Amino acid sequence: MNGAGPHTGDYYAIQFTADSQIVAWTGNITGTPTAETFTKGDVLYGRWSSITFDASAKAVLYNS
């Protein structure tokens, strides 16, 4: 995935392929880490139905 989104689906993991920031998400994790930069190689596990990234974000979204 490249770019902002929102990206919708049934996602269980996010693997960042470049330094990226999340703008908003909907899922089983409360809050949104909007001030956090995730670095290339970081992986988040959870359950999301919608994820919005900053415009320069690059990540692999794993769906169920």
| pTM (2 d.p.) | 0.86
Is position 51 within any domain? yes
CA distance 27 to 45: 11
At residue 19, the pLDDT reads 95
How deeply is 16 buried, as exposed, middle or buried, from its count of CB atoms within 10 A (0-12, 13-18, 19+)? buried
Provide the residue range defining the domain that includes 16.
7-63
CB atoms within 10 A of CB 45: 10
Domains contained in the chain, number: 1
Is position 1 within any domain? no
pLDDT tens string 29-58: 887 787 789 999 999 999 999 999 999 899
The DSSP bridge pattern shows strands 37-38 and 20-27 to be: antiparallel
Is position 35 within any domain? yes
Is position 2 within any domain? no
